[in-house]
Structure 1
Amino acid sequence: MEFCPKCGKVLIPHNRILKCSLCGYTKKLNDEDSKDYILSHDVSDKRKVIISGDKVNAMPTTRGLCYRCGNRQLEWWMVQMHRSDEAETRFYRCTKCGNTWRRSN
């Protein structure tokens, strides 16, 4: 599995090209490398498998309230935005509508 060097999203294989669906970055694969990449829902294959689908979620989730759609499940992550002696900033993203906001401690 490879990630986009510009935005960090997973690169999806298609016709000997790895392409980012978010920013449009592409990387050409040679014939030998293209045999290693497949797009699949099954992880039992020994090749470099890329799990497809919008339902794959690798972020931790918590219960909260999305102020836009009212959904109660949120993804969350923390980023150190300021000096190390200051609290980190928490980001939340609604799992239903994708609305994202932050909360500083």
Structure 2
Amino acid sequence: MKFCPNCGKVLLPKQGILHCYDCGYEQKVTENEKQDYIIEKDVSDKQNIIVTGDKINTLPTTKGLCYRCGNRELEWWLIQMRKADEAETRFYRCTKCGNTWRRSG
């Protein structure tokens, strides 16, 4: 997902380019970026946009080691599994293979 450098809004496809419907900024999509975007149809500023796909990363990342594939970048999140006076459980997910594990304490 690309954002407008002027106003920070999401750039959306319009006639083969990425367009900001707030300030009018436009940006061409490079050949390398074309494989990152699937443009099914152009959108207007009055349509609701739903971004789907598993490439969208909203979790924080950290450096670590995936014991399955050896990748060194991991997503992580915390969940309170037991009583509030006990430590939360930290989950890790490999950004390459999706292997997920947890660490308590």
The alpha-carbon deviation at position 48 of structure 1 amounts to: 2.1
Query: Partners of 1:98 and 1:45 in 2: how far apart?
Result: 35
Measure the CA separation in 2 of the matches of 1:76 and 1:43. Answer: 34
Please give the per-residue CA displacement for 1:13-58, whole angstroms capped at 9, x wherever unaligned: xxxxxxxxxxxxxxxxxxxxxxxxxx86x99844221113432111
Matched with 1:76 is 76
Number of the residue aligned with 2:50: 50
1:101 aligns with 2:78: no
Higher Rg of the two aligned structures: 2
Residues of 2 paired with 1:80 and 1:54: CA distance? Answer: 25
For residues 1-105 of structure 1, the aligned pairs below 5 Å read 45-105=45-105
Q: What are the ranges of 5 or more consecutive residues in structure 1 without an aligned counterpart?
A: 1-38
- Relative to structure 1, the CA distance from residue 84 to residue 47 in structure 2 (aligned partners, 3 Å threshold; closer, same or farther) is same
Number of paired residues?
67
Name the SS of the counterpart of 1:49 in structure 2.
coil
Residues 45 and 75 of structure 1: is their aligned pair in 2 closer, same or farther, counting only changes over 3 Å?
A: farther
Q: Distance in 2 between matches of 1:55 and 1:86?
A: 34
**Aligned equivalents of 2:69 and 2:43: distance in 1?**
34
TM-score norm. by structure 2 comes to: 0.55
Alpha-carbon separation, structure 2, partners of 1:95 and 1:43: 31
The share of aligned pairs that are identical, in percent, is: 73
